Structures are given as structure tokens and as C-alpha cells.
Amino acid sequence: MEHECGLLSAADAQTKMAAVMEQMLQGLNSVGHAVLSVDGSVPVHLKVVRTPPAPDHVADHHVPVWVGRRPPRLDHWDMTSQQIIPHIKGVAHVLKISALADVEVQLVKACVRNLLYYGLVELTSIFQYSNTYVVTPDITRLYSDPRLQDECCRAVARDECIPASMGNVFPLYCAMTHDRTLRDICTEHNMQTMRVNERKLVQFGLLRGLIRRVHKYPVHLPELAVGVPLTGRFPEDAYRLFDGRHSYDEICVREGLSSKELDDRIERDPSVIVLRK
């Protein structure tokens, strides 16, 4: 601008600069961008670039879920992402995606972190019918917000062409309590007749903050097993994960166990208790 119209050195520079600064201030503050041009000079485009926060830690047991629809085209992605993205379906955890895509797990985590950074995916826990969920205070939004209700009924429907009824969906969420597993709820309600997909119901509730997972954390208390035979107990090195900070999901994925197998082994070991939180 100085070369083209003497913005800084012209006789009326002070007046021009004041107008330019005012235009820039108003544009950046109101709409996040501004186009500056003085006396027909080449326009200068300014924009406020908002940097998203750094993505959360991605663990082996995390399940990436698309926030919207999966990208329809993959040819503009790098080769590694092209191998990984088809396996992100809101079902497989990171370690399983690594095996399915035949890609090293650290590369899968890097890909998922990249997708998280741009808001394309979110992380949820492993879906199992033995899981327990409870509603959060945000469930009241579903009761009072018609737009959220419409979005929910479409998202959780078994058939995309036939939305579920809020009269069926809301009681299902309210039935989620500390003492009931998802299997209990599905046994008590006919999901097919209600036109509700239980996996989508849980996924939508978690992503919108309407429900949360109640995780189980094993804790090793050696004093509980004093004088008890060693039969049925875990190997000593397994107890390193039983400190109340590692969830069932993390332990099962790391040790290659199913939730039921871990349950059965803990049941036989008197030195291990389970916290739910």
C-alpha cells in the first residue's frame, strides 16, 4: 500500500491510516476478516485464524466416531490415512483398527489425532451390552429442545427413512441407571418395535453429553487374600494395572481379554475389588 498510494508518507497519511485501522478493527472483531484497499490499491485480505486446541490423548482402547458423515473421497488423503479411514466406523478401537488396516498402531493414533484436531471425529468407549450408562444433567436439553429431539430421533433410528419417536427414545435414556446394564434395558424393551438402534442410541447420547459411561476399575488389595490359596489368582505382574486408574476397557485391550473373561478371573481372586465411577 505504501508503494501504490503512499499510505504512510502521503500528506493525508494520518487520515487514511485512521480509516484503514477502523475498517480493520470493525471487520476482524465482527466477522473475523477484513479487506483493506486505499485509493484503488491492490486489496489486502486479513483473517483471524483460530487454532483448535491440541487433541486429547489417544489410547489403544479408544473408539473414534465420525462427528458427521465420513469423507466421501479419500484420494486427497495421504496413503496411510487412506488405509485407516475405511475402518473408522464407530465400532473398532484403535488397536483393532491397527490390525484391520495392517498399519502400525502409532500411525493409527497419529491419524486419529489429526482427525480430532480438525473436528472430524470424537472418541468414545468400547460398545458392549454389559456396559452401564447413566444420564447427565444435560438430559434436560433433550426434553426441552425440539431441534435436538428431531436430530436425536433421526440419528438413533433403525431405519434412516423412519425416524424413531421421542416418546420411545426419552424413556430409554431415563432407564439408564447405575444398577442396569445395556443388556438389561434391551431385554426390558423391544428395540425393534420401538425402531431404535441401541448402538446409535448410546453413541448419540455420549457424543451429545446426554449420558456417560460408568467405567469399572479393578483395585488390588493384597491384605484381602492373606491365608487364601493362590488358585485362581492373577500372576503378580498383572496386578500392576489394578491400581484404580486403569479401566476394564484399557486392561482388556492391553491383555487381550474379553470383559467377561476379566470378570470371571476377578471373581475368583479375593484380593481384587472393582470400583465403578
Q: Is the pLDDT at 1 greater than 60, yes or no? A: no
pLDDT at 176 over 60: yes
Residues near 230 by Cβ (< 8 Å), separated by ≥ 6?
A: none
Cell digits for 97? 483398527
Backbone angles phi, psi at 57, to 5 degrees: -60, 135
More confident residue, 75 or 173: 173
Q: Which triple of cell numbers denotes residue 139?
A: 438430559
Which pLDDT tens digit goes with each residue over 110-142?
999 999 988 899 999 999 999 999 999 999 999
Give the residue with greater pLDDT, 23 vs 5.
23
Give, as one character, the DSSP assignment of residue 269. Answer: -
Check whether 92 has a pLDDT greater than 60.
yes
The pLDDT score that the predictor gives to residue 173 is: 98
Q: What is the dihedral of CA 88, 155, 148, 117, to 10 degrees?
A: 10
Query: Residue 72 pLDDT more than 90?
Result: no
Instruction: Pick 216-276's CATH classification: 1.10.10, 1.10.287, 1.10.3210, 3.40.50.
Output: 1.10.10
Mean pLDDT of the 221-230 span: 73
Give residue 109's pLDDT band: very low, low, confident or very high (50, 70, 90).
Answer: very high
pLDDT for 48 equals 81
| 44 vs 2, residue with greater confidence | 44
pLDDT at residue 11 in the model: 67
Would you state the pLDDT for residue 46? 79
The pairing of beta strand 33-36 with beta strand 132-135: unpaired
pLDDT attached to residue 198: 97
pLDDT of 52 higher than 80: no
Find out whether 16 and 38 touch, Cβ atoms under 8 Å.
yes
- 49 vs 62, residue with greater confidence: 62
Q: pLDDT: is 25 or 183 the higher one?
A: 183
